[in-house]
């Protein structure tokens, strides 16, 4: 039985160290084969013409033609190729722009080696791959920013209401019939999730954004 040919992969990044790291990654997998590399978008388009990769690992930010423009240019000429955008940044608009340009994947550069390899296989098979951060960013572009306090639990909302009343940790513990340590934990969680520096700021934010009755 004939073995399937490896997936042909091209690496595009303006930093040689990053390119070397990605190339070494590909060597760890028998079903992935490096067929080319480029240091900017213009080189990427020329390299596609010469090497015909199946999947391109594309850096987002590069001098000259950036990753989004390069993705558009590549897919205009070679629509069968798949592009995975690799970046250190996840911003709502960047994710949207990358997908609108035709990218089939959006991953962070610190993704584990197996995650990246699986992403290459998935987009080659016709699937889309987004990091959890990119998925959240994409949802925000459709639904708007998440409301402050959306991640507060029911208990934390109760604690926040008592913070607004001005109760101490000990008084909160007594009111909710919990230990002082547990009350302190809930108060810390409330401050962290609201991005508040102290109890007074948390109370002010809770009142301003109508987070408590």
pLDDT given at position 137: 78
For residues 129 and 204, state if they share a domain. Answer: no
Please indicate, yes or no, if residue 28 is contained in any of the structural domains.
yes
pLDDT given at position 33: 95
For residues 106 and 59, state if they share a domain. Answer: yes
Please indicate, yes or no, if residue 196 is contained in any of the structural domains.
yes
Please indicate, yes or no, if residue 148 is contained in any of the structural domains.
no
Q: How many domains does the chain have?
A: 2
CA distance 171 to 114: 50
For residues 21 and 90, state if they share a domain. Answer: yes
- Segments forming the whole domain that contains residue 181: 154-208
- Burial call 78-109: b when 16+ CB within 10 Å, e when fewer: eeebbbbbbbeebebebbbbbbebbbbbbbbb
For residues 161 and 138, state if they share a domain. Answer: no
The CATH number of residue 174's host domain is 1.10.10.10
pLDDT given at position 150: 82
DSSP alpha helices (H): ranges in the chain?
16-27, 41-51, 67-77, 92-100, 113-124, 132-143, 154-165, 169-176, 180-194, 199-208
For residues 107 and 53, state if they share a domain. Answer: yes
pLDDT one digit per residue (tens) for the chain, 213 residues: 567 899 999 999 999 999 999 999 899 999 999 999 999 999 999 999 999 999 999 999 998 899 999 999 999 999 999 999 999 877 878 888 999 999 999 999 889 999 999 999 999 999 999 998 888 877 776 655 667 888 899 999 999 999 999 999 999 999 999 999 999 999 999 999 999 999 999 999 999 989 988
For residues 20 and 122, state if they share a domain. Answer: yes
pLDDT given at position 120: 97
For residues 126 and 168, state if they share a domain. Answer: no
pTM of the model: 0.66
The CATH number of residue 55's host domain is 3.40.50.2300
pLDDT given at position 144: 59
Please indicate, yes or no, if residue 52 is contained in any of the structural domains.
yes
For residues 91 and 170, state if they share a domain. Answer: no
């Amino acid at each position: 039985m004939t073995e399937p040919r490896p997936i042909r992969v091209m690496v595009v990044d303006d930093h040689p160290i990053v390119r070397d790291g990605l190339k070494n990654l590909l060597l760890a997998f028998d079903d992935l084969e490096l067929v080319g590399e480029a240091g900017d978008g213009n080189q990427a388009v020329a390299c596609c013409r010469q090497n015909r990769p199946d999947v391109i690992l594309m850096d987002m930010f590069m001098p000259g033609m950036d990753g989004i423009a390069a993705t558009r240019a590549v897919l205009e000429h070679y629509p069968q190729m798949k592009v995975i955008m690799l970046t250190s940044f996840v911003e709502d608009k960047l994710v949207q722009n990358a997908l609108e340009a035709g990218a089939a994947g959006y991953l962070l550069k610190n993704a584990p080696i197996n995650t990246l390899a699986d992403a290459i296989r998935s987009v080659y098979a016709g699937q889309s791959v987004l990091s959890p951060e990119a998925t959240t960013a994409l949802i925000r572009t459709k639904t708007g920013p998440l409301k402050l306090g959306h991640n507060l639990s029911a208990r934390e909302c109760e604690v926040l209401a008592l913070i607004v009343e001005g109760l101490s940790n000990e008084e909160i513990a007594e009111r909710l019939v919990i230990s002082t340590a547990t009350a302190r934990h809930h108060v810390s969680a409330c401050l962290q999730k609201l991005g508040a520096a102290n109890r007074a700021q948390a109370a002010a934010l809770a009142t301003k954004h109508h987070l408590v009755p």
